[in-house]
Each structure stands twice: as structure tokens, then as C-alpha cells.
Amino acid sequence: MKNFFRRAGGACIAVAIVIAAAAAGCTKKESDQAASSEIASETLAPRFVSMNAPAPDFTLKNRITGADVKLSAYRGRVVMVNFWAPWCPPCREELPDLVGLYEANRGKGFELLGVFVSGDPGEVDQMVRQHGIDYPVLTGDESVARAWLVNGIPTTYIIDREGVVRVQYVGAQPRAVFEQDVMRLLNN
């Protein structure tokens, strides 16, 4: 897992690779096909995320409570799934915005799931306390990150009330960007 995401000089290399690939004209379809053949035998997440298609289900442990959290249990709500790591500066930068977004919209049918995919679990616990994170922080792994096509972190998906993936972001975003998409889906 340590080698899945790397950092250098405080910057997330994986994000730089994604940006460089996009600039070079690498298509999502090509990367999907390569990733699909690589883990076709995975049993945890048997299919990959696709835009405007049902979100691949997962069951992950809540880092704080130890309870199992199943994505499909949130059907009927707008769900944001944020893949992150404590060592990633852009991930740390967007945490206050995510906490604020969750606080402002949780009573309106919105849920936020943070999926920690790399790094020291002790640092995750410290960040939860430091930032007052009260949304579920789940312990992910490489197979979930692959199934969700997480090539850089943070990577965030927004899922509509029917469980369909509607939006994807790679890289940190300001709260206003997330909020616009969340509100659009909440109001549909």
C-alpha cells in the first residue's frame, strides 16, 4: 500500500501524473481498459466506477467506531466519497471545506464518506480530532482505490440518490465547487 501513492517535496506525485496524462491526451477509456485487465479477478470490488452508472458497492470499516459501512446503505441520499491520505497536502487543505460542507448539508439528505487509502492510521486519528471530522472516515485499501479508479489523491466522487455516480474530481477543490454539485443533486 505504501507504494500505491507516493509523495515528493510535499507534492502528491500521483496528482501530477494524472494531470500530465490528461495533458498528453491519455483517454479515460484506455486507462479503464488497462486497469480492468489488471484486477479482473478482484473479489472485493468486482467492477469499476463509471460516470452515470451505478457506483460500485463497498463495505469498509469506520476508522473511529470500528463498524462496517456499506455504501449501498446510503441509497436515497446524495453521497460524496472522498479518497485521501494524511500525508497529502491537498487532502489536508480541503478537509476544513469538507467538514463545513458536511455540517451545512447533513440534515438535507447529504452524506460524506472519507476513505483513507494510504499512510499512518495514527495520523488519520489525529487529523479527525484536529479538524473535528464527524463524518465517517473509512479504512480503504488498494483494491477499493483501483475499483474506484483513484490514480491521484484527493479524488472525490458525488453519487445521486439512486446510487449513480454523477461527478468526479481529481485534486483538491474549494467548498463552493463541491457545494454547487451537491445542491444540484439534493434539489433534483
27-40 pLDDT, tens digit per residue, is 233 333 333 323 33
Q: Do strands 78-84 and 155-159 pair parallel, antiparallel, or not at all (unpaired)?
A: antiparallel
What pLDDT is stored for residue 188 in this prediction? 85
Mean pLDDT, residues 161-187:
95
- What percent of the chain stands above pLDDT 90? 65
43-64 pLDDT, tens digit per residue, is 343 456 778 889 999 999 999 8
Q: 7-186 architecture in CATH?
A: 3-Layer(aba) Sandwich (3.40)
What pLDDT is stored for residue 34 in this prediction? 32
- What percent of the chain stands above pLDDT 70? 74
Contact 144, 44 (CB under 8 A): yes
Dist CA 168 CA 161 (whole Å): 16
Mean pLDDT, residues 12-39:
33
Dist CA 116 CA 119 (whole Å): 8
What pLDDT is stored for residue 48 in this prediction? 67
113-153 pLDDT, tens digit per residue, is 999 998 889 999 999 999 999 999 999 988 899 899 998 99
What pLDDT is stored for residue 12 in this prediction? 42
CB-based burial label for 133 (10 Å; 0-12, 13-18, 19+): buried
Peptide bond just before 154 cis, omega within 30 deg:
yes
Q: Is the pLDDT of residue 183 over 80?
A: yes
Dist CA 156 CA 159 (whole Å): 10
